Structure 1
Amino acid sequence: MPLTPEQDAEIADLRATPRPTLRAVSEGAEAHLYVPKPVLDHGFVRMIDYMGDDAAICQAARVSYGRGTKSVQNDEGLIRYLMRHWHSTPFEMCELKLHVKLPVFVARQWIRHRMANVNEYSARYSILDREFYIPRAEDLAAQSRQNNQGRGDVLGAEESARVLDWLREDAHRAYDHYEAMISDDGQQGVARELARMNLPANIYTQWYWKVDLHNLFHFLRLRADSHAQYEIRVYADAICEMVKDWVPAAYRAFEEYRLGGVTLSASGVECLRRMLAGEEVTQETSGMSGREWREFMEIVE
């Protein structure tokens, strides 16, 4: 279970005691509050709090004191304009706070987005649970031959079974030694802050992560992309479902201009113009490197 019975009871209590407020309220976000969305084998994402809604973005853009214009269509048009022209400040007026349970190696990749407030579970003060991320056999793949950061072909059945056995055995052996080191039964016991160094990178940690909508969209643009590592992409996908309900107009603009859009270099724009004019353009005449040309052709073909 991702949450303990005590945590489930706390969530039920929080959702059963709504309070009146004068704050902007998003009905879509309210439906997600506190509820954990399962991710991977033991992980989850849950919305703890939010600030603002679509109208707050428009309010900030116009520096007005009301709910924006009376026309929802006008508000959505403004949001699309802001997204299309890369305006950031109005989106920064909305914030989201998440509780995330994730493997340590995913957390280390995630934390490279240095634009949020983070408070992580401390293994100096507390004992980590015996919970490890063990991939499904279909998610085990060889190193990509084209991309040093990515995966290639899925491993064969025999090799994947061997790898999964090693992952389980190594993780549990390391945790056995971790428990033995911190035990004070008949020994002094190693300090938790030292014993944790023996734990594998697939053990689960937890944190609270608070971010504004502009930087959240940047995170999602990179991590919800098909080229992102699977283990972080599934977290991004779960967050996308929340954001879609929280700020639907802003999310539609994000899908249109970021997730579904592309960016071309000056050379790419020039090559596209030449192609539209009927000229045959090759990598040799494009002024691009081989990799740039392959990426460009993935867009235009």
Structure 2
Amino acid sequence: MPVTPEQEAEIAELRATPRQTLRAVSEGMEKHLYEVKPVLDHGFVRVIDYMGDDAAICQAARVSYGKGTKSVQNDAGLIRYLMRHWHSTPFEMCEIKLHVKLPVFVARQWIRHRTANVNEYSARYSIMDREFYIPEPEVLAAQSVVNNQGRGEVLQGEEAARVLEYLKTDAARAYDHYEEMISQDGQQGLARELARMNLPANIYTQWYWKVDLHNLFHFLRLRADSHAQYEIRVYADEICKVVADWVPAAYQAFEDYRMGGANLSGKALECIRQMLKGEEVTQESSGMSAGEWREFQSVLNG
């Protein structure tokens, strides 16, 4: 199950006892506080706390730039200016704290983003739950033949059934042995910190993850991208929905300039200038490598 009965009771209690505050409040975020957003088969994301809103970003920017922002007519315009010109510090004035339940192999990808504060469930002190991520058949795919980091065609028929059976039985067997090793039923039992080494990478863990908005946007730009691994992308997609309600102006600018935009090299810009003049441009004349040229063509063709 995504949440335990104890967690459900805690969530209900927290949402039933609102408190008065003088701090900045985002009405869009308030509706998400503590609520569970299911992800994958047993995972979830939920907002535990947050700080700041769109106005906090502008407040910080105007302190920093002073008269330099007088030409900006409104907060949304200022935020778009900041995003467009890569002024990151004002976005760091907003923070979010998430409670995330996720498979261990997804957590190992996620933790590569080292700009957050993390506190994870400890298998040294506690016993891991018997919950494993088992993919839906439609996301079971073969290795891509063109991308070493990606997936190819979806497995079909007997091949898909064979792989699913391996995933289920191997996870169950590993957990059975884990339980037996730490058992106290008439035996000494192995220390939990050692027994955990036998657990599979698809077992679920949990953590609290606190990050500022600038670094969250960096995380989302990479992990909500269509090329990201499916199992981490679905978490990023849920977080995107929350952020869009929390800081709508900032999220709109992020979508336009980071998710929907493209970074072009000097050579690529020169090629575009030549194309606008009606000149023919080829990979050979562009000065780009074959890989750069393919990526450039992908940007132009959408």
User: With structure 2 as the length reference, what TM-score do the two structures score?
Assistant: 0.95
In 2, distance between residues paired with 1:287 and 1:146? 24
The count of residues paired between Structure 1 and Structure 2 equals: 295
- Indicate the residue corresponding to 1:7 in structure 2: 7
Deviations 1:109-161, CA, capped at 9 Å, x for gaps: 00000100000000000000000000011101111122111111111222111
Following superposition, the deviation at residue 288 of structure 1 comes to 1.5
Letter in 2 for 1:269: L
Choose 141-150 or 113-122, whichever is displaced more.
141-150
Residues 182 and 297 of structure 1: is their aligned pair in 2 closer, same or farther, counting only changes over 3 Å? same
Deviations 1:83-128, CA, capped at 9 Å, x for gaps: 0000011000000000000000000000000100000000000000
- Indicate the residue corresponding to 1:171 in structure 2: 171
- Indicate the residue corresponding to 1:55 in structure 2: 55
- Pairs within 5 Å for 1:86-105: 86-105=86-105
In 2, distance between residues paired with 1:220 and 1:228? 10
Instruction: Determine helix, strand or coil for the equivalent of 1:281.
Output: coil
In 2, distance between residues paired with 1:230 and 1:289? 29
- Pairs within 5 Å for 1:38-117: 38-63=38-63, 74-117=74-117
Instruction: Determine helix, strand or coil for the equivalent of 1:63.
Output: helix
- Indicate the residue corresponding to 1:258 in structure 2: 258
Following superposition, the deviation at residue 287 of structure 1 comes to 1.5
Following superposition, the deviation at residue 73 of structure 1 comes to 6.3
CA RMSD of aligned residues (A): 1.3
In 1, distance between residues paired with 2:169 and 2:284? 52
- Indicate the residue corresponding to 2:231 in structure 1: 231
- Pairs within 5 Å for 1:139-288: 139-288=139-288
Letter in 2 for 1:36: V
Identical counterparts, % of pairs: 82
1:33 aligns with 2:33: yes
Letter in 2 for 1:152: G
In the alignment, structure 2 segments of 5+ residues that lack a partner are none
User: With structure 1 as the length reference, what TM-score do the two structures score?
Assistant: 0.96
In 2, distance between residues paired with 1:186 and 1:271? 75
In 2, distance between residues paired with 1:139 and 1:279? 44
Letter in 1 for 2:158: E
Letter in 2 for 1:280: E
Letter in 2 for 1:130: R
In 2, distance between residues paired with 1:179 and 1:222? 37
Letter in 1 for 2:78: L
1:125 aligns with 2:125: yes
Give every structure 1 segment of 4 or more consecutive aligned residues whose post-TM-superposition deviation is greater than 2 Å.
none
Deviations 1:13-67, CA, capped at 9 Å, x for gaps: 1001001000000001100000010000000000000000000000000129xxx
Letter in 2 for 1:31: K
